[in-house]
C-alpha cells in the first residue's frame, strides 16, 4: 500500500536524454497516471507491497499484445530455421504459432505462476469465461496467419535465409536529435539491397484508414538508418495490422519513402506536450477518485489503482 507521505520520484530520461517511444506517447494519451506508473516511477519504497503489485501490473498484456508477440516470435523462429524449403517454413510458421498458442493458453487457464503471463481482459474481469475467450483468440490468430501466409512480404521473410535476417533486440533504442528513442521491430532483414523491418500491430474495432500514423514502422526504419547505417533510399518499413474485434481483415502497409523530418517533428511535438503537461503529484492524488470508466477497466493499472490509499482519477 502506498501512503501519501511516501516519496516517489519521476524521471523520463534514459542515460541523460529524454526517452521517447510511440507506446510512451500512447500511454500518456490514455491516462497520464498510467504513463507515470508505467514509465516514470524510479524509486519507491521496496518494503511496501507497491513494488510487487506495480511490477505485476506492468507485465499485464492485452490479448492484442499477446497475439502480436506470438506472431512476431513465430515468424522469427520459422524464418531462421535452417534446412527447410520456403514451403516447409510457411507450414512451420503455423505450427510454431499453434504450439505457442497451446502452451500460453494452458498457462493462462491454469494460472502457471512461473510463466507469469497474465491477460488484461481476463484479470480485469472484462472477459468472464477464460476458456471461451482464449478459444476465440486462438481462432482469430489462426485465421490471421492463414491470410498472412499468402502475403508477398511474409513469403520474402521466409525465403531470405538465416544470414539476411538481422539479429535486433526488441525493444531496441537509439539516439536521435537529443532523444533516446525506443522501437520494437518484430523482424528485420535485407533483400535485393533493401533493408526491411516488419511489425505486427493490433487494432480493436474498425481497421484504421491506411494513411493513419505510420510512426511506429517509420521509427523502425529510422533505427536501421541510425544503428546499421542503412541508406534512407534503401529502407522499407512494413507493418501488418489486424483487427482483434473479430473481423478477419489484415491491413499491410509499406513505408518506403520514410520521412525522417516528419518523424523527428512528431517526436519533438509529443515530447513537448508531455513536458508541459502538469503531471499529478502524489500529494495531489487524495483529491482524485478513480472512476469505474471503460478506460479504467481496460487499463493495466486498474488493480494497482484499486490498491492505492488515495485513488487516482481517470484524467
- Rule CB under 6 A: which residues touch ligand SF4? 31, 33-34, 290, 295-296, 299, 301-302, 305, 312-314
- Closest by alpha carbon to 300, among 116, 58, 101? 58
Q: Is it true that the peptide bond before 61 is cis, omega within 30 degrees of 0? A: no
Q: What ranges in the chain are assigned the alpha helix state H? A: 22-30, 32-35, 50-59, 63-79, 86-109, 120-123, 130-149, 152-159, 215-228, 260-276, 294-297, 302-307
The CA distance from 131 to 105, in Å, is 8
- Output 263 or 305, the one with its CB closest to ligand SF4: 305
Find out whether 207 and 247 touch, Cβ atoms under 8 Å: yes
Q: How many residues are listed for the chain in this entry? A: 315
Compare residues 63 and 157 and give the one whose CB is closer to ligand SF4.
63
Say which residues have a Cβ less than 8 Å from residue 105's Cβ, sequence separation at least 6: 134, 138
How many other CB atoms are there within 10 angstroms of residue 77's CB atom? Answer: 17
Residue 246 C-beta: closest distance to ligand SF4, Å: 25
User: Is 187:89 a contact under the CB 8 Å cutoff?
Assistant: no
Is the CB of 28 or the CB of 182 nearer to ligand SF4?
Answer: 28
Q: How far is the CB of 27 from ligand SF4 (least distance, A)?
A: 9
Considering beta carbons, is residue 222 or 314 the nearer one to ligand SF4? 314
Task: Tell me the three cell numbers of residue 97.
Answer: 504459432
Whole-number minimum distance, CB 118 to ligand SF4, in Å?
A: 16
The residue sitting closest to ligand SF4, measured at its beta carbon, is: 299
Q: Of 122, 118, 75, which is closest to residue 240 (Cα–Cα)?
A: 75
Minimum separation from the CB atom of position 205 to ligand SF4 (A) = 19
- Number of Cβ within a 10 Å radius of residue 129: 10
The CB-of-201 to ligand SF4 minimum distance in angstroms stands at: 21
For the chain, the C-alpha Rg in angstroms (whole number) is 21
Q: How far is the CB of 178 from ligand SF4 (least distance, A)?
A: 29
Q: How far is the CB of 138 from ligand SF4 (least distance, A)?
A: 28
Tell me whether residue 22 or residue 301 sits nearer to ligand SF4 (CB atom).
Answer: 301
Amino acid at each position: 500500500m502506498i501512503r501519501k507521505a511516501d516519496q516517489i520520484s519521476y524521471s523520463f530520461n534514459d542515460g541523460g536524454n529524454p526517452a521517447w517511444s510511440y507506446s510512451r506517447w500512447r500511454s500518456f494519451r490514455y491516462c497520464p497516471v498510467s504513463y507515470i506508473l508505467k514509465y516514470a516511477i524510479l524509486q519507491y519504497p521496496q518494503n511496501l507491497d507497491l513494488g510487487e503489485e506495480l511490477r505485476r501490473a506492468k507485465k499485464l498484456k492485452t490479448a492484442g499484445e499477446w497475439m502480436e508477440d506470438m506472431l512476431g516470435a513465430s515468424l522469427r523462429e520459422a524464418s531462421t530455421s535452417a534446412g527447410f524449403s520456403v514451403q516447409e517454413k510457411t507450414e512451420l510458421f503455423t505450427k510454431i504459432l499453434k504450439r505457442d498458442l497451446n502452451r500460453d493458453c494452458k498457462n493462462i487457464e491454469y494460472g502457471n505462476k512461473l510463466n507469469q503471463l497474465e491477460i488484461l481482459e481476463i484479470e480485469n474481469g472484462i472477459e468472464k469465461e477464460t476458456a471461451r475467450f482464449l478459444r476465440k483468440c486462438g481462432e482469430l490468430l489462426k485465421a490471421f496467419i492463414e491470410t498472412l501466409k499468402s502475403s508477398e512480404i511474409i513469403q520474402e521473410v521466409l525465403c531470405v535465409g538465416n544470414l539476411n535476417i538481422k539479429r535486433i533486440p526488441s525493444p531496441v533504442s537509439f539516439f536521435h536529435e537529443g532523444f533516446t528513442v525506443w522501437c520494437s521491430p518484430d523482424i528485420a532483414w535485407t533483400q535485393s539491397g533493401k533493408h526491411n523491418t516488419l511489425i505486427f500491430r493490433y487494432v480493436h474495432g474498425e481497421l484504421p484508414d491506411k494513411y493513419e500514423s505510420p510512426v511506429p514502422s517509420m521509427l523502425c526504419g529510422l533505427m536501421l538508418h541510425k544503428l546499421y547505417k542503412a541508406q534512407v533510399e534503401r529502407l522499407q518499413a512494413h507493418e501488418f495490422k489486424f483487427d482483434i474485434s473479430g473481423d478477419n481483415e489484415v491491413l499491410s502497409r509499406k513505408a518506403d519513402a520514410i520521412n525522417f523530418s516528419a518523424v523527428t517533428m512528431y517526436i519533438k511535438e509529443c515530447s513537448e506536450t508531455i513536458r508541459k503537461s502538469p503531471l499529478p503529484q502524489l500529494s495531489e492524488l487524495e483529491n482524485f477518485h478513480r472512476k469505474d470508466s471503460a478506460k479504467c477497466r481496460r487499463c493495466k493499472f486498474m488493480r494497482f489503482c484499486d490498491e492505492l490509499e488515495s485513488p487516482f482519477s481517470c484524467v
